[in-house]
Amino acid sequence: MRPASDVPVRPASDVVVGADGCPRCPWGLSTPEYVAYHDYEWGRPVRDTVGLFERLTLEAFQSGLSWLTILRKRSAFRAAFAGFDPAAVAAFGSADVDRLLADAGIVRNRRKIEATIVNARAVLTLDHPLEELIWSFQPEPTGRAAPATLADVPAKTPESVALAKGLRAAGFVFVGPTTAYALMQACGLVDDHLSGCWVAGGVG
C-alpha cells in the first residue's frame, strides 16, 4: 500500500556500495584517505592518553576546515607535536609556537597551536588519566538505534555538552559540544556508522 502523498518517505539508509562491493557511509567513499579512515579507524575505541590527545587536538584543528585536510596533514602534525606526547607538548614555549607557525605541513593557526599546548598541560594536571575522564561521558549504548541517514546523525548531544563542560572544567580550551561529539564519534564512544554500513555495530 502506498503512503499518503503528504507523508514524507525516508530512504531505508543512505549507505552507498563501493566499487569493492562493501556498503559504506557515503562520506567514507570519496577519497582513498576517507575509505581507510572510515573502515579502520573512525568509531573504533581509542583508550590511551596519546591517542585521545591526538584526536582531541586534530578535531580542534579541523574546526572550520575539511577533515580531509587534517587527514592529509596528519603525519606532519605528529612530527610537529612530538608524536602528541602530552609531556613533550606541555614543555613547548614561545620558540616552539614560532616554529609551528612557520611549519607549512600543518594548519598554521596561532589560537589552535596555543590551545594544544594549554591542553597538553591540562592532561598532566588531571587527577585521573585522560581516557578515564573522556570515557566517563560515554552514553549508554543499549537502546541506541543506528542512524539510517546522515540526517539522523546529530552534531551534538547532551553527553557531548557534558563532555565539553567537563574538559573545560579540567583546564582544556578550544573544545565545545560539537568538537566534543566529533571526538566521541572518532574514538568509539558512539557508533554513528549508518545502518547497513559494513562497519556498523562491529567497532566496539
How far is it, in rounded angstroms, from Cα 28 to Cα 35? Answer: 5
With beta carbons less than 8 A apart as the criterion, state whether 203 and 45 touch.
yes
Q: What is the largest CA-CA distance in the chain?
A: 70
Residue 201 has pLDDT above 50, yes or no: yes
Percent of the chain beyond pLDDT 70?
Answer: 93
C-alpha 174 chain-centroid distance: 14
What is the mean predicted confidence (pLDDT) over 143-167? 93
With beta carbons less than 8 A apart as the criterion, state whether 197 and 15 touch.
yes
Q: What is the reported pTM?
A: 0.90
Residues forming the active site = 37, 59, 67
Cβ within 8 Å of residue 161, ≥6 positions away: 177, 180
Q: Which residues pair with 16 in a beta bridge?
A: 24
pLDDT one-digit tens code per residue, 66-106? 999 999 999 999 999 999 999 999 999 999 999 999 999 99
The Cβ of residue 129 has, within 10 Å, a number of other Cβ atoms equal to 14
With beta carbons less than 8 A apart as the criterion, state whether 12 and 25 touch.
no
With beta carbons less than 8 A apart as the criterion, state whether 141 and 170 touch.
no
With beta carbons less than 8 A apart as the criterion, state whether 175 and 184 touch.
no
